[in-house]
Structures are given as C-alpha cells and as structure tokens.
Structure 1
Amino acid sequence: MNHYLAEFIGTTLLLLLGNGVVANVILKGTKGENSGWIVITTGWALAVYIGVVFAGPYTGAHLNPAVTIAMALHKALPWTEVPGYILAQIAGGFCGALLTYIIHKDHFDATADPTTKLGVFATIPNIRNTTTNLASEIIGTFVLIFVIFFITGQDVSINGKTEPIGMGSLGAIPVAFLVWAIGLSLGGTTGYAINPARDLGPRLFHAIWPIKEKRDSDWSYAWIPIIGPITGAVLAFVVYILIK
C-alpha cells in the first residue's frame, strides 16, 4: 500500500475512534453520556492501538506529525517524504472528524453548549494559560516520542528469529499503554493533543462544517497543540541521542 494512503487511513481510524469516544461521553443523550475521563483516555488508547495495527506494516504507523518529524531526525524517514506524511495525517484527522459527526449528528443537534460541540473535535484547556498549556503539550509529547524510540528499538524473538519490535500489532500494545498513561497522568490540563494532526484536522472540520449552533473554532489557541508537540518531539530526539 502507498505510504501516504496508509497514513491517511490509519489517522482516519485513530480520529474516528478518538473523537468518537469523546462524543460518546460529552454529547447529550448518548449511551456513554457523563461516563468520565477514564472512558475517554481508554478509548483514545485503544484508538491508537487500532490505527497502529493497520498502518504499522506499511509506514511504522506515525499517524502524528510529531512522530514523523522525530523519525526524520532519526534518519528513519527521508525529509522529502515528511510533507506528504503530514498532509495525509491532517486529511485523515479531518475525515475521522467527519465520520464522527455523521454518526453523532442527532446528539450534536441535541447538545446546547457550543463549547461542548467544539470539544469533541479540538483540545480545549481547562485553565487557559499560554505558558503552562504549551508546557503541558511539550512534556506530554516528549514522553510519547522518547518512549517510542525505546519501544521501536527493542528486539523480540519471533519464530526463533530475533527481530525489532517495530510498530506492527505487537508494537501497538506498548504504544497504546503509553498513550493511556499520558492521558491519565498528564492529559487533564489541555486534553493532551500530543499530535498536531489530531487537533488541526478536526478543528478544520469544525470550522467549515455547518454544525448546528456551533461557536468559533478557537483559532487563537490552535497553535499550541501544533508547536507544543513538535517542540516536544525535537527535545525527545535530542535527549535520546545524548543518552544512547
């Protein structure tokens, strides 16, 4: 499969299931209404697992511009392919948001609060503070990328042969637990984007789609879940190289 197509489909699956669990918890009248943060973080972790299982055999399952940049820094991906990966990921984020909206349209219509509707798609800090919000995204993404470097570097025995764990179905399990841990421990401040495509693609969808009684898409905040994760990824690469 074409690498860009694999990243697009994998990110679509990630955002369909990730935005989907948020919709199920916060929109009016769903079966999961008010089921809480543990459901959201668990749903996101499983969404990552499924996206990685699909895309892993083709691309190593970046599904995240921060991961793509980190892999390019590590010379695991040519820089010439980085723009294509990132565009595919953002498009996948948009498509995942669209599918989430189609499934939950009645519940969007039944939900009165416009900020709740935005919250299905985009991250929103509980306390708006540029410095601490940016730090949250930098640190969360640092943990993600730093640990991914070690996950992808491990070897396992498969059919008597030692092979790198990679990011296939086996590698997807520790990555899912990693994202779950980040969500539970670090995600309560900003909603832990830790992935520019996860925020930007759905935020673009919210901006252009005719959602009933929606608010603005909060573009004044949107740079934080872009710059924060990219900064965290670069720092993770630097520290990884220094200690290896």
Structure 2
Amino acid sequence: MIRLLFFLLLYFLVSCSDTVNNTSTTTNVSTVESETSGDLYVFAVDAVSGKPIPDAEFSTPAVDDSLRIVYGDKGACFPDLPVGENYAIYASAENYAPVVCNASIRFSENVSSPSMSFVDNTTLNVGLNKLASSLRGSIYYQNPENPMQLDILPAAGAKVTLVVKDSGDCIFLQKKYGPVKVDSNGFFAFDSLPEKTDFTLNVHDAKFKGFLFSGIKREGSLDYAQITTVLPKIVYEKIQTAFGFDFMDHAGV
C-alpha cells in the first residue's frame, strides 16, 4: 500500500509540475522570498482503509476553479501559490463527510547556500470519513410519581442531538446531526454518520408528567468495525425546580 501511494504521488507530482511549469522539477528556488511561490498537491484517502478515494473534489477560495489542475482519481494541483499564506482546502467525495483543511507553502533553508531559500511544493493528504456508521440508543425517565422506587418509563418525544468531533488537521463541514425524537418505546437512531469519529450526545431537557427533566450529555466513539454503535440505556434522573436541580432518590439503574 505504501509503495502504491508513493508511485501514485510521484506520478502526480511530476505530471502537475510538467503541466504548470514545463519542467520535471517539483521544487522552486528563489533568493527573493516575496516573489516566490509553490504548488499545492492534494489527494484524498479513506480514513479507515487508507485507500485512495476516486473522483474526490477539491477547491479553495484562493484559486479560481479554472486554474485548478485535476487528475481524475489522482487528486488535484493548485499552482503558483504565494509563500507564507494559509489556504483553506475543501475536500469532498460521494458518501463521505466533507471537510475543510489548512495548508500553506513554506520556505526551507538551503544548508549548502544560506543566501538562498528553497520552496518545497506542498502535499496535503486528506483522510475522509465514510458516512457509513449508525448509532442506536434508548432513553427513559424516572417516574416522578414514584421517586423512591426504580420505575422508569420511555422518554417518548425527547430530542437528541449528536455532534461529531474533528480529528487531525481538518474540520468537518457538518458537525451536528439531528435532533431526532425518541419513539414511544424509548428508542432513537442516527444513520449515515462519519465512521471512526468521537462524538458528544446531547439529550435535551424534556417534560414528563408535568415535571421538567434536565438534559444529559454522553461522550462516545463510533465503532467503524461494527458499523452500528449501540449505547447503554440512558435515564433522566434530575428534575429542575425553581431552586435548581432536585436529585431524585431512587435505586440505581
């Protein structure tokens, strides 16, 4: 796999450089930093398998689409970007969660000739998360009419929101999923979530039998190996009052 990516990237770099600069070199050299630019090469791989993603799309507000060089399933090149700037690179592919990543072109010191600086063309490897994971769970509430006993009922109608967390140098364009409603049996579900991600689950405040229950927060990870992640049972336990939270005294769940 590493050897395949190496030759793929080597071919990609040479091809882009040939097209843009009519030369086989992939490094620009200059003694005047303000006049120096470099090329940015971008390609996408599956965040789980590491395999290249065919037909991924890339863009940046810094470069007009007509100047972008696309190589089918090999990636894209953004030519002649000024050194020292930060560039927002948007990456997406069908059935994957789109992201925006940060990239820049930097100087490298020429050890043999300190009066000159090299500009190494930059390669950005974007790992995209497939929208293939699901999350299942159930939510109940402690019956406020029977607070001294373990008496839980389905939290039908309660709302649940899921927020995925960024990983690496890229940011998900969609972080929030839902809210979804808990059904009459206490169950809820999220589908088409980005696999191999951590998340925060927010169970919203809800009113049952005339009592307002405080929301609940849970942290977790989407299990990409099992595709569907099932959470342990969640139970509303705190009732909001005019004086704050009234902690119900009942047997553990």
Which TM-score tier does this pair reach, normalised by the shorter chain?
under 0.3
- The structure whose RCO (Cα within 8 Å, separation 6+) is larger is 1
Tell me the TM-score normalized by structure 2: 0.23
Higher strand fraction: Structure 1 or Structure 2?
A: 2
Higher helix share: 1
Higher-Rg member (1/2): 2
TM-score, normalising length: structure 1: 0.24
